[in-house]
A and B are shown apart, each in its own frame.
Chain A
Amino acid sequence: MAGNPFPLNKGQLLEAYRKMKTIREFEERLHVDFGRGDIPGFVHLYAGEEASATGIMAHLGDGDRIASTHRGHGHCIAKGVDIVAMMKEIYGKKGGSCNGKGGSMHIADLSKGMMGANGILGAGAPLACGAALAAKLRKKGEVAITFVGDGASNQGTFLESLNLAAVWNLPTIFVVENNGYAESTSRDYGTAVDSYVDRAAGFGMPGVTVDGTDFFAVYEAAGEIIRRAREGGGPTLLECKMVRFHGHFEGDAQTYRGPGENEENRNNKDCLKKFSAEVAGSGVITLDELKAIDADVMRLIEHAVAEAKAAPFPTLADLTTDVYIKY
């Protein structure tokens, strides 16, 4: 073996795999538990899209802020939010990331720079601009990243934020996670000019498209973009072309998909399979090491679910706490 061919060392590679695997199993477990009626509210699963969150967040610290979407569990996990606290939150229990009062679509952990999932499409973009403005004023080289889906990229808030970030030269990165569907509406049907690089050019900022199912493509592009933002180079748009393994929401019959589309996605566009094949094939990491992580992750998810089920619900007395937060 001629050394490590990857731009990450062995420990970083294992950590990237652990993050992606944790997201995958977290989401697959929610798929089962939600179907059983164990979880209140709605959940939108990130399975299939793990390389985007993990490849980007590998370049961030706790001081860097992210504004997530309704499909935010993967962003939380990649940003380092505690898994048990997340599971409790999604189960609506005390001890959750927001003490069970946010649930899946309002889960947040400011200590990790995770400003929140968001039930309003496109609403994260202005928040990220605010965080980026704060970062610019603090002059510590921090950045803010907003994630949107291809559907939300048509929202006025997103387009206004591109303009604001450009005119103020903010360290904001706009990540369009393009899984091809705005809920059930195909991107081809609902978006007039669907090159997101074109959108960026319209606001005078660079835009880049990468294969969002390839961890290394995301990692490398995001590294350059984030470095640029930290050094004062301003905003960039990054489009990650990807697939989601589940419906828009749990319970979605997915009648809008083509025949065999889900199977094709799972068989040939699975970012975890691609990552495993590449790192294990290089000889840097063994399959046994990956399997050991798989076992760790399964134990962690089981533990998180058990903790979530055992935890109490918030009480009426909890209703008016945590409404405001001091910075």
Chain B
Amino acid sequence: MSTLAPSVGIIANPVSARDIRRVIANASNLQTADRVNIVLRLLSTLAELGVGKVFMMPDKSGMRPLLSRQLNRESQLGHGFPEVEYLDFPVTSTVEDTFRATRLMREAGVKAMIVLGGDGTHRAVARECGDIPIAGLSTGTNNAFPEMREPTLTAMAVALYATGKLSRAEALSGNKVIEISINHGERKDIAIVDAVISHERVIGARALWRPESLNALYLTFADPEVIGLSAIGGLLQPTTRESPDGLMIELASDPAKAQFNLRAPIAPGMMRDIPIANWAPLKAGVDYPVALDAGVVALDGEREMTFKPGEHVNVSLVSQAFFTVDVTRCLQLGAVNGLFRF
């Protein structure tokens, strides 16, 4: 596939924000109809700023028929949209769809990908996007990675980059990831915000919310203004996305051995006391073996990998692993350079 008009991909996860945190933390749920409305706002904005084509990830959760109905209605009203092409592959309704859509969008030559989802969705795209930049929109639960922003603004920034009005150097920022390797590469994965080692031993309902189950945290950045497990780092030792280091935190399995308890929002509205043993910068390019004998690795908020006694788990921080559209910088440059003057 190839296209001459500047094209953008949209990966809208229809199933983010559906997990157990709706029950244990009263977490919010962005409804399918609202997700479709976000896509419509993205499309109309991209069209106005010169993006000719948009590739969409297919789904079997109701977004495609809703969007088709809305696009039909809008076109009858004379509203302009880019050409919308759904990628053609069998939908599995698993994260494999996100992986596959990301790869296909790369092959189609999109200039950027706009991602609707939580940290987990963004992680899936980051694994496969290569040097194609991501612009994230938060529709998940904890949302440490994607920013909360009106989608119109995100689309404006993406359009400036996609149409060549801003260069890579001007528009993009590099991001760190944490690489997890079990048994020297036998199983590998990444986290874009937090890799958490837990005493839990099954994947189960995926989320982690019991403080006593936490063993250690490895963070790419730690922002005191986010919630989720990385908030522990944010309130302990803020570490920016731009910092060359990440942050590692060891928790006390015996509360009596904790230096102190840190009260942190580990899920929406869920403040919990976390017994802190030690913390230190996480240096890029250094191997950090996990001390726990057996447990689960949670990546960006969800239990993903189990490990048994005798299995070796290694953590390492990688710089400049993937790129994001810096929306704030793009809009400021767009304004200063008169890029919105027509």
Contacts of B293 in A (CB 8 A): 2
Query: Cβ of B201 < 8 Å from any Cβ of A?
Result: yes
Whether A2 and B62, one on each chain, are in contact in the complex, defined by CB atoms closer than 8 angstroms, is: no
Chain A residues with CB under 8 A of B294? 2, 5
* B203 & A214 in contact (Cβ 8 Å cutoff): yes
In this assembly, does A316 line the interface, its C-beta being within 8 Å of a C-beta of chain B?
A: no
The CA of A207 and the CA of B33, in the complex, are separated in Å by 16
B60 adjacent to A188 (CB under 8 Å): yes
> Is A225 within 8 A of B23, CB to CB?
yes
Say which residue of B18, B31, B90, B309 sits within 8 Å of A209 (CB atoms): B18
Is A206 a contact partner of B26 (Cβ separation < 8 A)? Answer: yes
Structural contact, B205 and A210, CB atoms closer than 8 A: yes
Q: In the assembled complex, which residues on chain B have CB atoms less than 8 Å from the CB atom of A282?
A: 201, 308
A198 and B32: CB pair below 8 A?
yes
Residues of A within 8 A of B202 (CB): 5-7, 216, 278
Is the Cβ of B19 less than 8 Å from the Cβ of A193?
no
A192 to B202, CA, bound (A): 34
State the majority secondary structure of interface residues on A: mixed
Complex contact A194–B23 (CB within 8 A): no
Report chain A residues within 8 Å CB of B66.
192-193
Q: Is A111's CB within 8 Å of the partner chain B?
A: no
A221 located at the interface, meaning its Cβ lies under 8 Å from any Cβ of chain B in the complex: yes
**A6 CA to B93 CA in the complex, in Å?**
27
In the complex, the answer to whether B23 meets A224 with C-beta atoms within 8 Å is yes
Q: Does chain A have a CB within 8 A of B130?
A: no
Say yes or no: A241 contacts B205, CB within 8 Å. Answer: no
- Inter-subunit contact A6/B201 (CB<8 Å): yes
Shortest Cβ distance from A206 into B: residue: B22
CA–CA, A201 and B202, complex, Å:
29
A197 touching B18, Cβ below 8 Å: yes
Chain A CB within 8 A of B65 CB: yes
CB of B204 within 8 A of CB of A219, answer: yes
Give the distance to chain A from B5, nearest Cβ to Cβ, in Å: 30
- Give the CA-CA distance A202 to B20 in the complex, in Å: 17
Contact partner of B203 among A188, A201, A217, CB < 8 A? Answer: A217
Closest to B294 in A: A2
Residue-by-residue, is A133-172 near B (CB-CB < 8 Å gives 1, otherwise 0)?
0000000000000000000000000000000000000000
- Known interface pairs A2-B294, A6-B201, A197-B18; A217-B62 also in contact (CB < 8 Å): no
* Given A6-B202, A216-B203, A208 and B309 contact (CB-CB distance below 8 Å): no
In the complex, which residues of chain B have a beta carbon less than 8 angstroms from the beta carbon of A206? 22-23, 26
Contact of B309 among A1, A188, A210 (CB under 8 A): A1
User: Which residue of B20, B22, B65 contacts A220 across the interface (Cβ within 8 Å)?
Assistant: B20
Additional 12 contacts, C-beta under 8 A, given A193-B32, A197-B18, A214-B204: A2-B294, A192-B65, A192-B66, A194-B32, A194-B62, A202-B31, A206-B26, A207-B29, A208-B22, A228-B23, A236-B23, A278-B202
Instruction: Report 20 cross-chain contacts, Cβ distance below 8 Å, ordered by A residue.
Output: A2-B309, A5-B202, A5-B294, A6-B202, A192-B62, A193-B62, A195-B18, A195-B31, A197-B17, A207-B29, A209-B19, A216-B204, A217-B204, A219-B204, A220-B205, A224-B20, A225-B23, A236-B23, A258-B90, A282-B308
A interface, CB within 8 angstroms of B:
1-2, 5-7, 187-188, 191-195, 197-198, 200-202, 206-210, 214, 216-217, 219-221, 224-225, 228, 236, 239, 241, 258, 278, 282
Instruction: Pick the 5 closest A-B CB pairs, nearest first.
Output: A5-B201, A209-B18, A206-B22, A220-B205, A220-B204
